[in-house]
Structure 1
Amino acid sequence: MEDILDVYELPYDPKRPVVCMDEKPYQLLGEAREPLPMVPGSDRKTDSEYIRNGTVSIFAFVEPLGGTHHVSVREHRTAVDWAEEIKYLVDVMYPDAEKIILVMDNLNTHKPASLYKKYPPEEARRIIKKLEIHYTPKHGSWLDIAEIELNVMTRQCLSRRIADIELLRSELSVWETERNTTAAKVDWHFRTGDARIKLKSLYPNFTIAS
């Protein structure tokens, strides 16, 4: 936990951006019956019955101090999918960075080894050398700012049924553009000193002998 909090205290450096990454499943839902449109004095009416159109995975990247955001939708959540997203992070989002300080959870696919499942060893190693990876602790996903980003995205963009992956990609592309246009940043206030006070039960209790 303190490792992640130390990362969040680093000053902004465009050559060494701090980027948080997370992903979430999303179920595509279609309408079993055509909704009744909204009219003056009455909300849009949607039937409780729906059609399941499968599940996709949404990947999110956010640079808290730089205000850069990226989301993408993939049909699967595999090591190869993660590897392709990380290559995009390195080569498209931050091609001029000396090092990308990457914060993410310790999911089984979120490993440097996943890059070798997609790319030749030389290419995989090139990508890895651009990363400085910091994993959130077990049961500590609340430390990943990208999880906050996904929650904001869900409230602002996904609070309705979306039937197919192309529509979902289109909606999230518009949302991403708006987030980047406003350069929405995150002002993280919870510091290591705060953790040692508010979460003191997590620390061992030392008794100093007199």
Structure 2
Amino acid sequence: MSRRLGTAPETGRTWRRRFLERGLDGMGDEPRPGVPRKITDADVERVIVKTLEETPKNATHWFTRSMAAATGMSQSSISRIWRAFALAPHRSQTFKLSTDPLFIDKVRDVVGLYLDPPEKALVLCVDEKSQIQALDRSQPILPMMPGVPERRSHDYIRAGTTTLFAALEVATGKVIGSLHRRHRATEFKKFLAKVDKTVPAGLEVHLILDNYATHKTPDIKRWLLAHPRFHLHFTPTSASWLNLVERWFAELTQKILKRGAHRSVQALERDIRTWLADWNEQPRPFIWTKTADEKVWRRPASLR
């Protein structure tokens, strides 16, 4: 029993003995030594109800100080109650639900490609990371030292922007990339032509992409008619998390863009190309683990 409940064997023996001696009366807590409780269960309930159902008059959410003033308790008591019941009024998260009427069908289509890709075909996750800014700090970056993190000025100098078009191969993690100063249908068409040249002629090409207007222009549709081996699979609206290339963009942002300093767009593009080449030398695929039906009813946390 103790192993099933995750308790020490001695604890299990103690409760069993108390039940045999006094029945259900022996299962309650015995008086404990020390100072009696000053905060009653009613006090705890009052704090929880105020936290969940009310807001202070002069703020959008409760702080320990304002809740202590409203209840007559100490800030430390409020803090302990909030921690005990996993309440964090200072935290807030954002979300957006897709209103796509074909949401479930599109999720099943895309996830089906991830879990059971067609034979003699390549599945590519496609998107563009637009408006990547070449930023240089206004003062030199101070390097990390023992006990001191790297330091940089909060202000920066803009030197222009570029756009990265990327196609992530689901099976291997390799990425086809192309940099352009603009992100119109013209540039997307050039990128499709590059993908067409890169993928062996004997393979069908399945592209997973979002509903951006440049992906659906008449010129793009004419190009697709002239290249029938290309098949487009659109993610639902407001569901960019379904596209695995977004996870790859997060890697690029974290490792190159977030703390990078570039005095020109050319320098920025050079670093991106270098990082892309290094990635493709040792690519790492992102493994999708949830079925479509599991994914529809859970928040997107199954990328690893």
Q: Say yes or no: TM over 0.5.
A: yes
Residue 263 of structure 2: aligned partner: 163
Q: Provide closer, same or farther for how the CA distance between residues 155 and 143 of structure 1 changes in structure 2, counting only shifts above 3 A.
A: same
Q: Of 226, 242, 249, which residue of structure 2 is paired with 1:143? A: 242
Maintained 8 Å contact 1:12/1:66: no
* CA apart distance, 1:102: 0.4
Residue 111 of structure 2: aligned partner: 5
Residue 41 of structure 2: aligned partner: none
- Aligned-residue CA RMSD in angstroms? 2.3
* CA apart distance, 1:148: 1.0
Distance 2:123 2:176 in 1: 14
TM-score by length of 2: 0.57
Q: Of 272, 275, 280, which residue of structure 2 is paired with 1:180? A: 280
Structure having the higher strand fraction is: 1
Structure having the higher helix fraction is: 2
Give the share of equivalent positions with the same residue, in percent: 23
In structure 2, give the amino acid aligned to 1:32: S
Q: Of 186, 189, 198, which residue of structure 2 is paired with 1:80? A: 186
Maintained 8 Å contact 1:12/1:65: no
* CA apart distance, 1:108: 0.1
TM-score by length of 1: 0.79
Unaligned regions of 5+ residues in structure 1, if any?
Answer: 200-210
SS in 2 for 1:100: strand
1:57-114 Cα distance to aligned partner (Å, 9 max, x none): 12221011122212332111111011001110111x2032431000000100012633
Unaligned regions of 5+ residues in structure 2, if any?
Answer: 1-106, 300-304
Residue 34 of structure 2: aligned partner: none
Maintained 8 Å contact 2:161/2:265: no
Maintained 8 Å contact 2:224/2:230: no
Q: Provide closer, same or farther for how the CA distance between residues 124 and 136 of structure 1 changes in structure 2, counting only shifts above 3 A.
A: closer
The number of residues matched between the two structures is 190
Structure 1 residues 195-206: aligned runs within 5 Å: 195=295, 198=298
Residue 99 of structure 1: aligned partner: 204
Distance 2:215 2:153 in 1: 39
Q: Of 21, 28, 53, which residue of structure 1 is paired with 2:134? A: 28
- Comparing 143-152 with 43-52, greater Cα deviation is found at 43-52
Relative contact order, higher structure (CA 8 A, sep 6+): 1
1:147-185 Cα distance to aligned partner (Å, 9 max, x none): 111111111111223332221222122221222111211
Q: Provide closer, same or farther for how the CA distance between residues 2 and 36 of structure 1 changes in structure 2, counting only shifts above 3 A.
A: closer
1:17-49 Cα distance to aligned partner (Å, 9 max, x none): 00001112212212323x144264354432222
SS in 2 for 1:109: helix
- 2:152 corresponds to 1:46: yes
Answer with 1 or 2: which has the greater Rg. 2
